[in-house]
Structure 1
Amino acid sequence: MLTGRQQELAVLAELTRPDAPATAVVVHGGRGTGKSALLGAALRRAVGEGGLVLSAMAEPADAHTRSGLVRQLVEQLPSPRAGRPGGLGGPGPAVGEEAHRLIAAAARRAPRTVIGIDDLQWTDAASAAWLETLLRRLDDLPVTVVATHGPGRLPSDEDPVGTLLPLFHRRIRLTPLTDADVARLVHTVLGAGAEDGTGPGPEPAPEFVTACRTATGGNPALLHTLLRSLRSAAVVPDAATAAALDRHVPAGTGRTVHAALRTMGPGVLATAEAAAVLVGPHPPAAELLAFASGIEQQVVEDGLHALTLAGTMVPGEHGSTFSAPLLAAAVAAEVLPSRRQALHSRAARFLIDQGAAWAEVVPHLIGSPIGQDGTAEALLNAADDALEHGENATAVACLRRALREPLREQLRAQVLASLGEAELARCVPTAVHTLRRSLDLATVPGEQAAAARSLAGALFTLDRYPEGLDVLRRAAQRIRHTGPAHALRLEIDLLYGQLGRIHTAAAALPRLRELDPAAAQGSPAERSLAALLSLRCLIDGGGCREDALAHARDALAGGVCPEGDESYVYTAPVLAFSAAGRPDLALAHVNASLEGSRGQAAALRQAYLTTLRAGVNYRLGDVRGCEADARAAIAALRGVGAGPTTSHSVAMLTDALTKQGRLAEAEDLLAEHGLTGTLGQHWANDFTALVRGRLKVARGRVEEGLEDLLRAGERATTRLMSGPAVLPWRSEAALARAALGDTRQAVELAAEEAELARAWGAPEITGNALRVLGLVTPGPDGLVLLREAVALLEPTAARLAHAQALADCGARLRQAGHLDDARAHLRSAVVSARRCGATAVADAAECELRAAGYRPDAPAEEGAQALTPSERRVAALAAEGLTNKEIAARLYVGLRTVEVHLTKAYGKLGIQGRPGLADALAAPGSVRR
């Protein structure tokens, strides 16, 4: 109890030493602050120094016992030579004078007399009068008086101590322990021994220390109680256990606190119980406490005042709160469940009648008894309000509580559907269970369709595609006659899911060919059918590019995640825009949907949209943006319990790392996600196979890489989506064939892709195909194709594809002896590739420049060239307008890391802050001779 009190103890030691002048000191503090321990230590020290020590302790029962404290002191006087004094006489004024004479006589015989009085606030009136006389005569005696004073009588009671306190020369006020004090105490109690019982134990984690101080308010007695309880439970003082401390109430603490509260006057305990139970966003006001507890408001106000004087509660802007959360928890733990529910019920009724915000009402609705009129309706209203304000956790709590009410089956199905949707933002496996229950109970076709689509989408996220397809199939059959439009909507998702799997794609194609936009016009399936038809255009290939764009526009008229119609089918129009040469439109739609969902705590939606944006950035050649979005998507999926084994985001991140030359990191990523062996059927893994093959070729394992590239083509061809607009596997395989010396097959593959690309008609797709065909075609004919590729790609948004074409054309020009032309191409390639973040392409182009007689600038001490990859990623996101907190979440790093990277980036770029950041990052690098 003396931890953190060394300074106060030193003051008392100085005041009680034998040669110190006579004085009086009072130690102020609330309950459990260590007043008694400090007084005891000071008195023991005085005894050790040969002084005469007299001590007395006042108790509440002594307040009405005449001269009780004085008698305690006199009875400790040593026996004189002539025999022990006969003690004090009976009651009367002479008692004080007699006691003063006896103590004065004893004090003159001792080198120093120290009188210690514990809990001065309970002193009886007669003893207080005697003590007042003593304090006024201290100059005549070698006496030091040390008293402790804490919370005691209510203000309405007679307080005989009030005139005493000004007579004390010195005052010591005990404040809460600091983090450093708490850390020492935690280490002493919980970490004093190693596991083998020898040597010092580990230092407590800072988070644990802070949690202990917060839970106890820095009160030593509460802290000792908490730590002893934690020691009994063998708790390790680390960061992982810190979060649970606010729920740990040591055994017996509640009873002890209740006993103390009962001594503080009428209504105090009832007031404290209500305040401890009715915890909400703000401390409960006196009016609320009075209504909920059923006692008069004046009694509640007196009780709050008494609790404040005792240090049990502290006043604040919105009301009084407990000085330590542990106190509140201890008080609440002793309240019977029936009384707790009654308090919450009455509090909810009071707040609703007062028009309070739902956020204030929710804790009391959740704690109310089951079956009361209006509770279910109020909970559902509160859930709607929480979802509207992006408070997903609150909505989930309200909906789960509402399900405990006696609801009609149809309403229960609706509540389960809402709960399942909310749970998707927190834990997808849990949402699957809830959505399945909703589907089982739903009877209305529209609700059945919505529940089935949500359930199937959640199953797809968990890579449980056969289950998801079965859910859609069964639900569509179930409502085919009662809700044909809703059945069609389900069939659209079913067809999209079937097309995404190798074994079911061929069977879905005949029905896909039959679909007519007019069949869904004006129905809930209109936009989703347009989305599916944009995918059909990608499958059909040549001549369908304009139709794909038209369908994509219709499909995304309501956004990528249209309210009430969210579905993975809207991935198709985003892909169609990108594949048809309008990645700018794809990016605009995805960004608009991301902005609209921000703040809604929809983690799964954020993961889906950031994965889509990573794909668009891949098409645009924004390597850094692709990496940042892919990392954010992976982190979001992990956060909701969805393992991204087949997620596009893992493949996107692998590709971005490969283009930056971070090959070992890319391989580790695939291994971490189990993507180094046989890949699942979903078409996301077609792209994974392509990326994996490209990585292996870059690592020099060309034959292994070619196998993956051909396997990607086989997979895509099986689902009749082998065109280069979706997956340019032929061009990648052609490069691998050429690296192995098989020029004939390389040319055949590249030529086939170029033909398909020309038929499709998107300049980006055609330009990339011609670039590869030019690379594998020897002689002047190859150079002609490379020049055509550069010309086609130059006006497009595919900046990395253009940089790669410039680099390849420049290399061929150098080999042909056209050095000036080669240097111009290569210089542009370096600048453009660096802007895209494609380090590997830029480095290769610089090597060609050296071979052409040029050398790049030495690494810049300043400017964008000097930024590390991490600094560039953070700076790029800051340039987009993201806050530091948003950047940290996007990159899955700490806030401090973001701040450090930005500070370094500002210095290297020569700017003072975010203004001008985008221009500084876009400034071209230079290459000199």
Structure 2
Amino acid sequence: MAVLESAAALARLEQLLVDSSEGRGQLALVQGGLACGKTELLYALTQRASASGALVLSATCSRDEGDLQAGLIDQLFQGADLPEQVTARVEELVTPRTVEEGHSGDAPCAVQLPDARVVHEICGILLELARKRPLVIAVDDVQFADSASLQFLLYVLRRMRSARILMVLTEWERPHPGHPAFRAEITRRPYHEIRLGPLSRDDVEHLVTDLLGGHSHPSLASGIHDLTGGNAVLARALVDDFTRADRTHAGTVQDDDSSPVVGFAFGQATLACLHRWGTELLDTARAVAVLGDHADPELIGQLMQVRRYDVDRFLHTLGSAGLLLNGRFRHQVAERVVLGTLSRGERSAMHLRAAELLYESGAEASAVACQLIAADPVMEPWMVPVLRAAADQALARDDVAVAVRCLESALPVVDRGERLALTAALARALWRVNPSAAARYMPALQAAVEQGSLPARDVVTVARWAMWNGDGEAVARSLRAVPGTAALDDARLVVELRLAFQWYYGSERGQFPDSVGGRGAGSDPWNRATNRLAAVWKHREPDVAVDSAEQILQSCQLGDSTLEVISSALLVLVVGNRLDRATWWCEQFIDEAARRGAVTWQAVLSSVRAAITLRQGRIVLAAEQAEHALHMMAPQSWGVLIGYPLSTLVSACTPMGRYEAAAEALRYEVPEAMFGTLDGLRYLHARGHYYLATDRVLAAISDFERCGRLMREWSLDLASMVPWRSDLAEAHLRLGRTASARDLVNQQLAQATATDDRTRGISLRVLAAASDLPQRPALLRRSVEHLEASGDRVELARALKELSQVHQQLGELDRARLLARRATQETKACHSGPQPSCPSPPEPLRPSPPVTAPGRQQRPDGDGPVLSDAQRRVADLAALGHTNQEISRKLYITVSTVEQHLTRVFRKLGVTSREALPLSLTEVP
């Protein structure tokens, strides 16, 4: 028998109604799965029959009334539009006494009413009614009918062949009918079987259109069909959820509202479907919900303690009803509401039994652990290794929440030695997403460090935590404990510890024990890379240090123990003025941290990215990035590192004149221990400039002097990190102390390396301010050259502005205007938004590409270079006011060659004088 759609089934029943009206009695047996629309079909038929003038006698059977004998007969006659004398006569014939005395069993064939006259007279009443008008007897869910009523239906069926009667019975399609004897009896005679399947997509679309007031919405209907499998009850519930979700406007559904909303109505409809079919289907659904992705028929049967054959039947029924798809719930809401039908004790017991079954079947530890966590059982010995293995698997796939739950579940029942290992693993996992949550596990680990009972990896965890929080004593204790552990043979572990120390403190300050390094560490490539990286803090071999940083970044994987390693290497690239490389690497690691959901990694690396952006002079973007990083974690989670995003934010807001925003950032409470780290230096430097910009000169001097004192004490007097001498010199100039300012700047110039263009550029600018007017142009031109090479556009704009003012004071107004325009352009660049990220890494560090000012290699339209490299160099120097002789000396070419280059430059650019030379490529027509 083919499965019919509801429209075709209704048309067939209507034809049977016509046939029966002509005196040919008809029986139709409508079958279908759960919520396939049998009731709706029967209702539609009775409406059509009533409209055509037929008399309709209808009844709906219920599981709860299955033992109420003759209940169906009562419904048929009480609910119809019958003359009062007919209803009264039936009530006289069918009484509790006559039914009870005649009841002899559940089989309808065995039921005998006490007087055949009773059944005969009731049947006669029906036949008499059918002579006057067509009669429709409609019984829904006949499988729940009482046996006495079934006997009555059989009696009528035997006598209606030539009567104008249509009998329509609906029943659930099940492998084992509820009343097999009754079904066998009715199918002996001619009958029409109609099978209903789930609603088709077209049916669902018509249903949705009707329920939404005639508004056609095919995409919504398609989504509802996918979530319900054509279950009419669930489809109606989804439409209800959709309309309740405020997805309409002015009474009509909007065209872009195409996604179903799965909410309360859907969940309740799911439960209604399951309760209608009895406990076996609900129990099966519960087992599926408990087992989740591991809900195969064999495990479901073991969990329910029923036969595999029965499980297959139940799963088929649930699948046919649209509740399951491939043995799984179609939506999590359905799974949640089914689990909600279990009491806390029942649910715990089922999860525990599921865990045991999965463990015995050899399932993955993560699957068993999920059941154990849900059960919250009393721990047994076999459970702890499972939870530990599941935690490792969860961390490998970056599911920190599951890993933490596994470790926390196992922690209370293990012995002391294993408890320390689990505690360390738990601290590392929590640290990845919320460092403050990891704090409660640290005291036990710190105590174990003092007792010497902690393995190397966990000692390093404690050391990193102590550095994070600026606990110098705990850092020292941890470092002293390292040589007595297996770390002596683990060069990589020692490297991670040393680089973490450098990230927080810069140089090792003599506090890192010489014994930490291990046997053969000197020949280990990681140890050699670390030694070369440390050279940047000792004012030597900066190129070697940045090359080593690049190698570390290429070889290092982002992980719990490598965050500081990566950050330290990025910092060295910044100090070495490799800003493009630092930017590219930082973005790669931020993207990876975001993919892996590691909030702590994202926050720290984002603060590094903001500092790099600030170093490039893009202050608006740097402020946005610093604020974003700062808000990724609560202030108490940052430890001493809170100084990093705060200092960037203050340093970015100050030159923009956003003094209130800078002051707001400075109101954050910072730990005093921060001032013993590099972040303290950054913070003092940023706060000093804020004080200087807001005319609090003495406060600025205090911060700058404190920077200098700390850096000298730590043997970290590195101007590329914090140029405190030029900062202090600017403050002295505000007080008229020109000689002191000049001495400070000269000291900084003497210290700066030849490759540190930024420090030299800043120093020369301040030195010009401390010099006589005739000396200032040359000093400022040199400052501009260095700052152009450094890439710091904020400092470049300041130098250009001061050079413009000097030329104005000297009466060179044309040159002053050009420089002022260039300074304005650089200032605008500082306030620009984000630039497109490069899809591929910049050129490798070696050989280093020539450093030029941003955007000065090609035309803006991308048509290629306007000038040759040699012409560009000459034009740049001439535009800054250098004479031909000065250009000759700087570029080691003859004056004649300079003149030839300038002649060609004038011709190519269409200018007639040096004063008309553009100071930026954006001015080239």
Q: What TM-score do the two structures reach when normalised by structure 2? A: 0.64
The answer on 1:261 being equivalent to 2:282 is: no
Structure 1 pair 326/639, CA: closer, same or farther in 2 (3 Å)?
farther
Instruction: Give the match's secondary structure for 2:776.
Output: helix
* Structure 1 CA distance for aligned equivalents of residues 132 and 154 of structure 2: 25
* Structure 2 CA distance for aligned equivalents of residues 910 and 70 of structure 1: 90
Alignment of 1:359-398 (within 5 A): 360-364=367-371, 366=373, 374-398=382-406
Residue aligning to 2:766: 772
* Structure 2 CA distance for aligned equivalents of residues 680 and 136 of structure 1: 102
The answer on 1:692 being equivalent to 2:687 is: yes
* Structure 2 CA distance for aligned equivalents of residues 428 and 182 of structure 1: 40
The answer on 1:812 being equivalent to 2:806 is: yes
Kindly tell me the number of residue pairs found equivalent between the two proteins.
Answer: 756
2:355/2:368 contact within 8 Å kept:
no
Q: Amino acid of the residue matched to residue 522 of structure 1?
A: A
Q: List per-residue Cα deviations over 1:811-831 (Å, max 9, x = no partner).
A: 433443434544554555445
Residue aligning to 1:618: 614
Structure 1 pair 34/658, CA: closer, same or farther in 2 (3 Å)?
farther
* Structure 1 CA distance for aligned equivalents of residues 162 and 635 of structure 2: 72
Instruction: Give the match's secondary structure for 2:597.
Output: coil
Which of 243, 246, 271 lines up with 2:284 in the alignment? 271
Instruction: Give the match's secondary structure for 1:727.
Output: coil
Instruction: Give the match's secondary structure for 1:724.
Output: coil
* Structure 1 CA distance for aligned equivalents of residues 534 and 327 of structure 2: 59
Structure 1 pair 727/414, CA: closer, same or farther in 2 (3 Å)?
same
Which of 644, 649, 652 lines up with 2:648 in the alignment? 652
Q: List per-residue Cα deviations over 1:787-822 (Å, max 9, x = no partner).
A: 111222333444554444334324433443434544
Structure 1 pair 322/258, CA: closer, same or farther in 2 (3 Å)?
farther
Alignment of 1:623-772 (within 5 A): 623=619, 626-627=622-623, 629-638=625-634, 641-642=637-638, 646-660=642-656, 662-671=658-667, 673-674=668-669, 682-695=677-690, 697-698=692-693, 701=694, 703-704=695-696, 707-708=699-700, 710-720=702-712, 721=716, 723-736=718-731, 738=733, 740=734, 742=736, 744=738, 747-748=741-742, 751-752=745-746, 754-758=748-752, 762-772=756-766
1:535/1:548 contact within 8 Å kept:
no
Alignment of 1:763-842 (within 5 A): 763-834=757-828, 837-839=829-831
- Percent identity of equivalent pairs: 19
Instruction: Give the match's secondary structure for 2:477.
Output: helix
Unmatched runs of 5 consecutive residues or more in structure 1: 1-7, 16-20, 188-205, 223-256, 840-868, 883-908, 912-923
Q: Amino acid of the residue matched to residue 298 of structure 2?
A: E
Cα drift, residue 109 of structure 1: 10
Structure 1 pair 481/392, CA: closer, same or farther in 2 (3 Å)?
closer
* Structure 2 CA distance for aligned equivalents of residues 536 and 70 of structure 1: 99
1:485/1:524 contact within 8 Å kept:
no
* Structure 1 CA distance for aligned equivalents of residues 472 and 116 of structure 2: 97
Instruction: Give the match's secondary structure for 1:278.
Output: helix
1:492/1:528 contact within 8 Å kept:
no
Q: More displaced, 486-495 or 369-378? A: 486-495
Q: What do you get for the CA RMSD once the two structures are aligned?
A: 6.0
1:763/1:792 contact within 8 Å kept:
yes
Residue aligning to 2:426: 419
Residue aligning to 2:313: 302
Which of 317, 324, 330 lines up with 1:314 in the alignment? 324
Instruction: Give the match's secondary structure for 2:763.
Output: helix
Residue aligning to 1:288: 299
The answer on 1:80 being equivalent to 2:79 is: no
* Structure 1 CA distance for aligned equivalents of residues 556 and 754 of structure 2: 24
Structure 1 pair 327/795, CA: closer, same or farther in 2 (3 Å)?
closer
* Structure 1 CA distance for aligned equivalents of residues 135 and 332 of structure 2: 40
Alignment of 1:12-161 (within 5 A): 56-60=59-63, 68-74=71-77, 79-80=84-85, 84=89, 86-87=92-93, 91=113, 98-99=121-122, 101-102=124-125, 119-123=141-145, 125-126=150-151, 154=176, 158=180, 160=183
The answer on 1:399 being equivalent to 2:407 is: yes
Structure 1 pair 31/332, CA: closer, same or farther in 2 (3 Å)?
farther
Q: More displaced, 318-327 or 652-661? A: 318-327
Residue aligning to 2:267: 216
* Structure 2 CA distance for aligned equivalents of residues 696 and 137 of structure 1: 107
* Structure 1 CA distance for aligned equivalents of residues 36 and 307 of structure 2: 32
1:627/1:653 contact within 8 Å kept:
yes
Q: Amino acid of the residue matched to residue 457 of structure 1?
A: R
Instruction: Give the match's secondary structure for 2:784.
Output: helix
Q: Amino acid of the residue matched to residue 748 of structure 1?
A: R
* Structure 2 CA distance for aligned equivalents of residues 154 and 336 of structure 1: 29
Q: Amino acid of the residue matched to residue 460 of structure 2?
A: R
2:586/2:605 contact within 8 Å kept:
yes
2:366/2:391 contact within 8 Å kept:
no
Structure 1 pair 446/609, CA: closer, same or farther in 2 (3 Å)?
farther
Cα drift, residue 357 of structure 1: 5.7
1:55/1:116 contact within 8 Å kept:
yes
Structure 1 pair 626/743, CA: closer, same or farther in 2 (3 Å)?
same
Q: Amino acid of the residue matched to residue 731 of structure 1?
A: S
Unmatched runs of 5 consecutive residues or more in structure 2: 1-6, 15-19, 99-111, 208-231, 247-256, 842-859, 863-919
* Structure 1 CA distance for aligned equivalents of residues 752 and 587 of structure 2: 30
Q: Amino acid of the residue matched to residue 471 of structure 1?
A: A
Q: List per-residue Cα deviations over 1:315-371 (Å, max 9, x = no partner).
A: 33768889823442134437636742553234323552xxx6665454245457666
1:750/1:773 contact within 8 Å kept:
no
Structure 1 pair 675/477, CA: closer, same or farther in 2 (3 Å)?
closer
1:432/1:455 contact within 8 Å kept:
no
Structure 1 pair 454/325, CA: closer, same or farther in 2 (3 Å)?
same
* Structure 2 CA distance for aligned equivalents of residues 643 and 37 of structure 1: 65
Residue aligning to 1:248: none
Q: More displaced, 175-184 or 290-299? A: 175-184
Structure 1 pair 87/393, CA: closer, same or farther in 2 (3 Å)?
same
Q: Amino acid of the residue matched to residue 404 of structure 2?
A: V
Which of 602, 605, 629 lines up with 1:606 in the alignment? 602
Find the structure with the greater CA-based Rg.
2
Residue aligning to 2:104: none
* Structure 1 CA distance for aligned equivalents of residues 332 and 699 of structure 2: 68
Cα drift, residue 634 of structure 1: 2.2
Cα drift, residue 499 of structure 1: 11
2:626/2:646 contact within 8 Å kept:
yes
* Structure 2 CA distance for aligned equivalents of residues 584 and 704 of structure 1: 35
Cα drift, residue 301 of structure 1: 0.8
Q: Amino acid of the residue matched to residue 307 of structure 2?
A: E
Q: List per-residue Cα deviations over 1:483-515 (Å, max 9, x = no partner).
A: 7949999999699879969xxx99x95657x96
Q: List per-residue Cα deviations over 1:619-643 (Å, max 9, x = no partner).
A: 3334466345434432433499547
* Structure 2 CA distance for aligned equivalents of residues 453 and 560 of structure 1: 17
2:495/2:527 contact within 8 Å kept:
no
Q: More displaced, 484-493 or 709-718? A: 484-493
Structure 1 pair 131/429, CA: closer, same or farther in 2 (3 Å)?
farther
Q: List per-residue Cα deviations over 1:260-319 (Å, max 9, x = no partner).
A: 633x5xxx565344323212xx2612133234445432221122234445x484233768
Q: List per-residue Cα deviations over 1:390-425 (Å, max 9, x = no partner).
A: 2333333333344355x4543433232222211112
1:420/1:434 contact within 8 Å kept:
yes
Structure 1 pair 535/60, CA: closer, same or farther in 2 (3 Å)?
same
